[in-house]
Amino acid sequence: MNNIRIGCGYDIHKFLEVALFEKAAKRLYLGGVLIEGHIGVAAHSDGDVVLHSLTDALLGALSLPDIGVLYPDNLKSTKGVSSIEIIKYAYKLVQEKGYALGNADITIITQTPKISAYKEQMINSVSAALGVDKSCVNIKGKTKEGLDSVGKQKAIECFSVCLISQQ
Ligand code: CDP
Ligand code: ZN
């Protein structure tokens, strides 16, 4: 089993206050997909919880430094950086170590949007960013049944697990 490794990643971002009606406040990215018209999240980058949690799962599988170490949120140079670029870089590191993605299973926890409506688009986007087959990536949504900060629509969170194997 030496050639198979598991990774786990988590991320949460706060939704912006609804009072912020500038265009920028209306940008929610999930798995690289822009969710049209939905309130966005507070973030140094584009705040994509799907890509951030999956990036940490990929890096964690090989005990590599996590996303916050590779892309510190206090650096001007990383402000507004696309999370697609971040995950591409992380997966390049994984591939340079001789590994490739087996599969990733991703759970987005949020009251809105309804993830099932975007599932296919997100799977296409994430698998294309990594250059892997669509069947390697699964994405699903869950509410928090109105409980806690996520249930009160103050935040959106995401868990990712992945298996990578030595080529
Ligand atoms: O039925 P249960 O309480 O276990 O789950 P839920 O949180 O009420 O979600 C029911 C179903 O809605 C999920 O299994 C997903 O298929 C879908 N869902 C979604 O697509 N997007 C969300 N943000 C939440 C749930
Ligand atoms: Zn994040």
Range of the domain at 126: 4-166
- CA of 35, nearest ligand number: 1
Residue labelled with tokens 């964690």? 60
- Asked whether residue 20 carries a pLDDT value surpassing 60, the answer given is no
35 Cβ inside 6 Å of ligand 1 = no
> What's the CA-to-centroid distance between 1 and ligand 2, angstroms?
31
Number of residues that make up the chain: 167
Span 71-124, pLDDT tens digits: 887 777 777 789 999 999 999 999 999 999 999 999 999 999 999 999 999 999
142 Cβ inside 6 Å of ligand 1 = yes
What's 26's domain CATH number? 3.30.1330.50
**Cα 93 from Cα 12, distance rounded (Å):** 24
- Asked whether residue 126 carries a pLDDT value surpassing 60, the answer given is yes
Rounded to the nearest integer, the mean pLDDT of the chain is 93
Q: Number of folded domains in the chain? A: 1
- CA of 110, nearest ligand number: 1
**Cα 21 from Cα 28, distance rounded (Å):** 13
146 Cβ inside 6 Å of ligand 1 = no
Count of H-run helices and E-run strands, the chain:
5, 6
